[in-house]
């Protein structure tokens, strides 16, 4: 009995406890580096044999991709609508540090304002797909140097339960699209909650 309670509690903790996923992108000196949990992801150049085998496997998977090619504008709108209306979304913290400089000081000043405006737009866009807990932008303009350095660090908190829920909603949505039973007006009318 006691072991059963411990197994149930551990299962609930695994399903409901949020798991942080840390992803960092660094662009310095014209080199892009990707880190997951502070571990650098190395890109290897594939050999010709691997490229040929990948091409053959891609050709076999073209039939599966045909479904996604057959999506109409209304189908894509329905998928976005279902994602926006998910009850349980991942939580995100986003930190960005940008250093840039150009030879023209006036253009650097104009870009400074545009960057802050576009970042506000990015925040509103992300709010549709994840719950943004914190978003931070630090911009350092250089008026006499010609450089560009960018570091984006994000932590996404999600749980196994949220992943299962989102997968279930998206699979049911794709199945209804495949069988042409989907209608965006039906979903907007409040008959289907997801």
pLDDT tens, the chain, 194 aa long: 677 777 777 777 777 778 888 999 999 888 889 999 888 887 655 555 565 566 666 655 555 555 566 677 887 888 888 888 888 888 999 999 999 888 888 888 899 889 888 888 888 888 888 888 888 889 989 888 888 899 999 999 888 888 888 888 888 888 887 777 555 555 555 544 44
Give the model's pLDDT for residue 185.
Answer: 54
- Residue 126 is predicted with a pLDDT of 87
Nearest to 90 by CA among 41, 127, 40: 127
For the chain, the domain total comes to 1
Q: Per the domain annotation, does 3 fall within a domain?
A: no
Give the domain extent around 26. 19-188
Q: Is residue 62 part of a domain?
A: yes
* Alpha carbons 143 and 61: distance in angstroms, whole number: 50
Give pLDDT, residue 21: 87
Q: What pTM was estimated for this model as a whole? A: 0.65
Burial-class residue 137 by CB neighbours within 10 Å (0-12, 13-18, 19+): middle
Q: How many whole angstroms separate alpha carbon 163 and alpha carbon 88?
A: 9
On whether residue 142 sits in a domain, the answer given is: yes
Tell me if 5 is assigned to some domain: no
CA distances (Å), origin 183, targets 69, 73, 166, 176: 19, 12, 20, 9
Structural domain contains residue 99: yes
State the pLDDT at residue 22. 92
User: Rounded distance, CA 115 to CA 98, Å?
Assistant: 10
């Amino acid at each position: 009995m006691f072991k059963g309670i411990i197994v149930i509690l551990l299962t609930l903790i695994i399903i409901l406890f949020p798991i942080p996923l840390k992803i960092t992108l660094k662009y310095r000196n014209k080199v892009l580096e990707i880190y997951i949990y502070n571990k650098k992801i190395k890109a290897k150049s594939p050999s010709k044999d691997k490229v040929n085998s990948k091409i053959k496997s891609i050709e076999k998977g073209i039939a599966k991709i045909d479904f996604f090619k057959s999506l109409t504008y209304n189908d894509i709108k329905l998928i976005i609508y279902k994602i926006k209306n998910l009850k349980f979304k991942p939580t995100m913290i986003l930190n960005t540090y940008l250093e840039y400089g150009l030879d023209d000081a006036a253009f650097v000043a104009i870009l400074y304002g545009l960057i802050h405006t576009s970042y506000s737009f990015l925040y509103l866009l992300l709010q549709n797909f994840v719950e943004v807990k914190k978003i931070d932008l630090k911009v350092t303009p250089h008026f006499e140097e010609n450089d560009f350095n960018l570091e984006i660090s994000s932590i996404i908190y999600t749980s196994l339960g949220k992943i299962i829920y989102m997968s279930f909603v998206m699979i049911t949505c794709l199945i209804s699209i495949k069988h042409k039973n989907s209608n965006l007006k039906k979903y907007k009318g409040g008959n289907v909650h997801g």
